[in-house]
Amino acid sequence: MLERGDLVRGVKPWNEGTIIGIVLREKKLLSLGGPSSFKVHWINSSDNKMTQKPTFLTWEVATSVEKIQNEY
């Protein structure tokens, strides 16, 4: 499970052009342990198809990002 401060990368078509993201907070979508979404601050790549902004914020579900471990 992702936690605040984790480094992540996008794994879906809408976020795969991002370089790295930082989880800012979690929000439960359903009660009783349902899926979560995560507010992510993205550092962007210049070749991202979706936006040319150097940084941006999005809400991502857990399956749209993966945690980066031991790479940086």
Reported as a single tens digit per residue, the pLDDT across 40-62 is 999 998 888 888 899 999 999 88
| Within a domain: 1 | no
Residue 72 has pLDDT above 60, yes or no: no
| Within a domain: 2 | no
Q: How large a percentage of the chain has pLDDT more than 90? A: 47
Decide if 18 contacts 42 (C-beta within 8 A).
yes
Per-residue confidence (pLDDT) for residue 32, from 0 to 100: 59
* Range(s) of the domain holding residue 40: 7-67
Number of domains present in the structure of the chain: 1
Per-residue confidence (pLDDT) for residue 19, from 0 to 100: 84
Q: Is 49 helix (H, G, I), strand (E, B) or coil?
A: coil
| Within a domain: 72 | no
Alpha-carbon span 51 to 43, nearest angstrom: 11
| Within a domain: 51 | yes
Placement of tokens 């979560």 in the chain: 36
Residue 68: closest CA among 25, 3, 11, 7 = 7
Decide if 46 contacts 63 (C-beta within 8 A).
no
